[in-house]
Structure 1
Amino acid sequence: MSTAFREATPDDLAALRDLEREASLAALGHVFPPERYPFPDDAVLARWSLVLDDPSVSVLVAPAPEHGTLIVLAAYDDTTLRHLAVHPAHWGNGLASTAIEAVLRALELRGCTTASLWCLEENHRARRLYEHLGWRPAPERREAPWPPHPTEMRYTRAVGPST
């Protein structure tokens, strides 16, 4: 699938939140049961506003050709893939892999030699993808910021010509 990424703008705030909500509800309902932990729309919208205002972070997005809503997002800084989401209707089409490849190319241009990311331990679909793409679990663990505060684990991957 050919994907045309562009940089997100403040006009994308609601769409970023909406895409994250759709992906989270589909992938993480077992971690964040929506009847107990409703998606934190306002907090996520505020976080995206901060992310877009942060000059050290780039946010790539791709809209669906047929209706213009966002179908994939990838946010990163100089060393870290900070956010990745694909709309569930587009899972299995290679969008996540394509977004990760674009981020790794950008990190290489920034001089990064080892990239990292954080992933919920219970996000099995994402973990399978990351490991398939050469990311390796690191020993670090931390508590996620959203209730019920599940455990996140760190992954790393070499960046550059030898990868």
Structure 2
Amino acid sequence: MDPDRFRQATPEDARALLDVERAAGIAALGHIFPPGMYPFPADEVLATWNAALTEPGVRVLVLDDDAEPGRLACFVAYDSRLLRHLAVHPSRWGTGLARAAMDAAVAQMQDPRLWCLADNDQAIGFYEHLGWRRTGRTQAAEYPPFPDEVEMVLPRD
């Protein structure tokens, strides 16, 4: 996939970012955040996107979904060292978009790091396949039930 298809998100994309994050989160993380017990924190996530989209040094790249006008197919948010968030709409899983978004981000980063939910086996497997390694550091996630996150780093050869 051509990385030039990604565009820099604008504050007008905040709601679409929320929509992709919600769809991907519910599809992939229901075993960690059971929806009946922990409803998706839409207001908090939207506030986080609004802040990130105006924070100096943070880049948010998005890919518009050709199949669904007005929807995003995927996004990646990062700064110079931290890959903050990566998500692909579930309808586009398995199409290579996650790797393309990751490649676009890490090309701009120095000493890339990320935090991933420890029980998100699909994401951890994806990152490890791309060469990311666990550092051994953990922290609690920001949303209830506050599951563990593991830090990962991408070694540069």
| TM-score (norm. length: structure 2) | 0.95
| 1:92 Cα offset (Å) | 0.7
Answering whether residue 4 of structure 2 is matched by residue 7 of structure 1, we say no
Answering whether residue 154 of structure 2 is matched by residue 152 of structure 1, we say no
- Match for 1:84: what amino acid? L
Alignment match, 1:79: 81
Alignment match, 1:138: 135
C-alpha separation between the residues in 2 aligned to 1:124 and 1:73?
20
| 1:134 Cα offset (Å) | 0.2
| 1:54 Cα offset (Å) | 0.3
| 1:106 Cα offset (Å) | 1.4
Q: Does structure 1 retain, via aligned residues, the 8 Å contact 2:133–2:155?
A: no
Query: Once superposed, what is the RMSD of the aligned Cα atoms?
Result: 1.1
C-alpha separation between the residues in 1 aligned to 2:108 and 2:2?
18
Q: SS where residue 107 of structure 2 aligns?
A: helix
Q: SS where residue 66 of structure 2 aligns?
A: coil
C-alpha separation between the residues in 2 aligned to 1:147 and 1:105?
33
Alignment of structure 1 residues 1-163 onto 2, 5 Å? 1-2=1-2, 4-68=5-69, 69-107=71-109, 112=110, 114-159=111-156, 162=157
C-alpha separation between the residues in 2 aligned to 1:18 and 1:143?
24
- Match for 1:72: what amino acid? C
| TM-score (norm. length: structure 1) | 0.92
Give aligned pairs, total. Answer: 155
| 1:105 Cα offset (Å) | 1.0
Give 5+ residue unaligned stretches, structure 1: none
- Match for 1:129: what amino acid? F
Regions of 4+ moved over 3 Å: none
Q: SS where residue 53 of structure 1 aligns?
A: coil
Identical residues among aligned pairs (%): 47
C-alpha separation between the residues in 1 aligned to 2:116 and 2:137?
11
